[in-house]
Structure 1
Amino acid sequence: MLSLTDDAGRVGLGEATPLPGFSPDTADEGQRALAELPGALGAIDLPADGTTAAFAIVRALAPLSSRLRHLPAARFALETALLDLLGQRLGLPVSACLGGGRYAEVRVNGLLTTSDALPVMLERAGALVARGVRAIKVKLRSRGEEGFARDLEALRALRREHPGVELRLDANATWSLDEAPRRLALLAPIGPRFVEQPVAPELLHHLGACDVPWAADESLAVEGAPERLLEAQGCAAFILKPAMLGLLRAHELGCRAQARGVDAVVTHLFDGPIALAASCELALSLPRPPLACGLDAHAGLEAWPELRIPQLREGGLVTASDQPGLGIRPWMD
């Protein structure tokens, strides 16, 4: 956890929680980089309102750009803490400092995995629907043709059980460029909104239009890939993970995607409460409401001291906190 204190005694909070095996950086690398911050930040020209807050932070971080280039979790922590401070000074939530505030709520999606036995998966789906969740993302964990056939049967059962629920699928970049179109065609009768990252990150822009649209996740961290994907046929959505991209970069990509008619989804990386609150503010800051986002509370939060996340509401909703900054205070207070 990162805390920054300004001259008036305000405390801005950030969090760097890279996910082992997925994040390009590690917790140790982030801690070393953040420990070297005192004296390294550029001057922060405090804006009179929230419209230029993000630009002020970009300028302040310019001297650190090369140092943080390959440490997105650390950059996320620093950007979050600075926006929290500016929001408190201006009396605005972080979403407004990013230029948002046009809508009051965003729905969240549920999460299932085909590695669970089918009865367990269906039971969990029923519990999500009972909570008010209207979109469910399913991670396709099986491998090989037999595994895909099992996943397909499980998805058919899920669709029969919940015909009105929006389904999204995530292949985690495990399909080849040759087999992806065939598998997407087999999934079409189930009616998924899209399949996240069906092929390797550097290949996704080659996939083209298929029977089921696809979404970009890990590809967004590949240099030059977002620009290629905005031009690609078949790309339905950008999956924005600020812990993998940085908060300001995720916001920039979300705005660019929506301007091109590509949907956006904001999701956590099993972050802790501070980063999750920041991701919620990101979801509330885009030019138009994103699709239901992957911002539901998750089991990993149990490892943290209990801390209320003011943006999360019952019934599968993220709402504006109506508090300055992140609206979250640490348990050390």
Structure 2
Amino acid sequence: MRVAAASLEHVDLDGARWGLVLSLADEEGRVGLGEATPLPGFSPESADDDRRALAELPGPLGPIELPGGASAARAAPEEAALAAERALAPLSSRLRGVPAARFALETALLDLLGQRLGVPVSACLGGHRPYAEVQVNGLLTTSSALSEMLEGARALAARGVGAIKVKLRSRGEDGFARDLEALRALRREHPEVELRLDANAAWSLDEAPRRLGSLAPLRPRFVEQPVAPALLHQLGACEVPWAADESLAVEGMAERLLDAEGCAAFILKPAMLGLLRAHELGRRAQARGLDAVATHLFDGPVALAAACELALSLPRPPLACGLDAHAGLEAWPAVRVPQLRGGGVVAASGRPGLGIGGWTA
């Protein structure tokens, strides 16, 4: 199979952020979709960088060859990931440093291959799995007023969401004390909820163990990225386990963290890692006894569908994932994400590929 045509559409989201939707068509008329929507201030590249990396397709793409030749029925679904990786080999230098562009290309290729094989992207990544749905976690922030944060928690509970992630936005000792009081109020009102926290790499190596100890009575599952990405492997075991997020994008760091004391989970953002790399890290983390969480980067519907397929592709069900619909989707054309369901879950779409119909911007 070869990619016969490619197109790239720009979506202006809020004047400060652009989304790129990549369409790849094969010689039989199937169309695979991918999305690159870097987040300013967080992603290492801009939308212009991604646009340049994705220009002039399909010329640089290698052929997409599955074992079994012309007979897709003889190919195991998970061999599609290897086929996509081989097809992308000629673009390796162009895609270095632009993970959102890589994510878009990998997603579009796997969407095409899934349609050809008649299986979802999740099966292309990891084969058929015995689970068909994954819980989602809710998201709150301590930058909101306490009353607003507690009302948000009530709304999540009413929807059946059983895990809440809270971003700790305050800075300094006084700010941490305020966050601690807000979290105590949240825990009093929701004693059974699974609580996760995200320090956004704001603490020093000296502060982190003490602050994690202060948080221990609240029984958080873990605290994401307590310290700077390049320092996380030095943190060690603390009173509260911690999880790796931004550190996974640092070259060689994921391999160190697989064996690091205190590391409880890998937070998998395919928009920052690439879809194939995110799946590889999730698989390896679970093999070492760590948990995995798949999450979006407040991207659009195509990337969100791909992140849902990642969550459905791992060897065992991940923890509740950061895949809930978000307000930023309102800036995109109305496209149904078939994996999003009510009741706080994402579930298999029952469709080949990503399961998204024709894209119209």
TM-score by length of 1: 0.99
Kindly indicate whether the alpha-carbon contact (under 8 Å) linking 2:76 and 2:127 is maintained by their aligned counterparts in 1: no
Name the counterpart of 2:97: 70
Q: Percent identity?
A: 81
Map 1:54-203 onto structure 2 (within 5 A).
54-102=81-129, 103-203=131-231
Q: Deviations over 1:97-128 (max 9, x none)?
A: 11243211000000000000000000000000
CA contact (8 A) 1:311 1:318 kept: yes
* Aligned mates of 1:289, 1:100 — CA distance in 2: 14
1:33 CA drift (Å): 1.1
CA contact (8 A) 2:64 2:84 kept: yes
Match of 1:9 in 2: 29
Q: Deviations over 1:151-196 (max 9, x none)?
A: 0000000000000100000000000000100000000000000000
Hey, what's the Cα distance between the residues in 2 that align with 1:282 and 1:27?
23
The aligned residue for residue 313 of structure 2 is: 285
Aligned to 1:20: 40
Flag the structure with higher helix content: 1
Residues 78, 127 of structure 2: 8 Å contact kept: no
The offset of 1:69, in angstroms, is 1.5
Q: Deviations over 1:254-310 (max 9, x none)?
A: 000000001000000001000000000000000000000000000000001111100
- Tell me the CA shift for residue 38 of structure 1: 2.3
Give the distance between the partners of 1:269 and 1:81, measured in 2 at CA: 18
The SS at the match of 1:66 is: coil
- Say whether the 8 Å CA contact 1:3–1:13 is kept in structure 2: yes
Deviates more, 1:94-103 or 1:286-295: 94-103
Residue 59 of structure 1 and its aligned partner are, at CA, apart by: 0.6
Q: Secondary structure at the match of 1:37?
A: coil
Partner of 1:261: 289
Structure 2 residue corresponding to 1:42, chosen from 62, 78, 103: 62
The 2-side partners of 1:106 and 1:183 are apart by 31
Following TM superposition, by how much is the alpha carbon of 1:50 offset from its aligned partner in structure 2, in angstroms?
A: 0.8
Separation in 1, partners of 2:311, 2:226: 24
Superposed CA deviations along residues 16-74 of structure 1, whole A, max 9, x for unmatched, are 00000000111011011111322101121034231311001111111111110110000
Contact 1:100/1:284 (8 A) holds in 2: no
> Gaps spanning 5+ residues in structure 2: where?
1-20, 68-74
Q: Structure 2 counterpart of 1:75, which letter?
A: R
Q: Distance in 1 between matches of 2:49 and 2:82?
A: 26
How far 1:4 moved relative to its partner?
Answer: 0.2
Distance between the aligned counterparts of 1:255 and 1:8, measured in 2? Answer: 33
Question: Alpha carbon RMSD of aligned pairs, Å?
Answer: 0.9
| 1:232-270 Cα deviation digits (max 9, x unpaired) | 100000000000000000000000000000100000000
Alignment correspondent of 1:298: 326
Amino acid in the other structure paired with 2:264: A
C-alpha distance in structure 2 between counterparts of 1:307 and 1:5, whole Å:
19
Q: Secondary structure at the match of 1:15?
A: strand
Normalising to structure 2: TM-score of the pair? 0.91
Size of the aligned set, in residue pairs, is 333
Q: Distance in 1 between matches of 2:80 and 2:113?
A: 7
Matched, 1:322 2:350: yes
**Higher relative contact order structure (alpha carbons within 8 Å, sequence separation ≥ 6):** 1
Q: Name which of structure 1's ranges 117-126 and 44-53 shifts more when overlaid on structure 2.
A: 44-53
Separation of aligned partners in 2, 1:304 and 1:51 = 31
Q: Distance in 2 between matches of 1:5 and 1:230?
A: 38
The structure 1 segments of at least 4 consecutive aligned residues displaced by more than 3 Å after TM superposition are none
1:68–1:331: structure 2 CA closer, same or farther, 3 Å change rule?
closer
Residue 331 of structure 1, CA deviation: 4.1
Equivalent-residue separation in structure 2 for 1:297 and 1:145 (angstroms): 33
Residue aligning to 2:273: 245
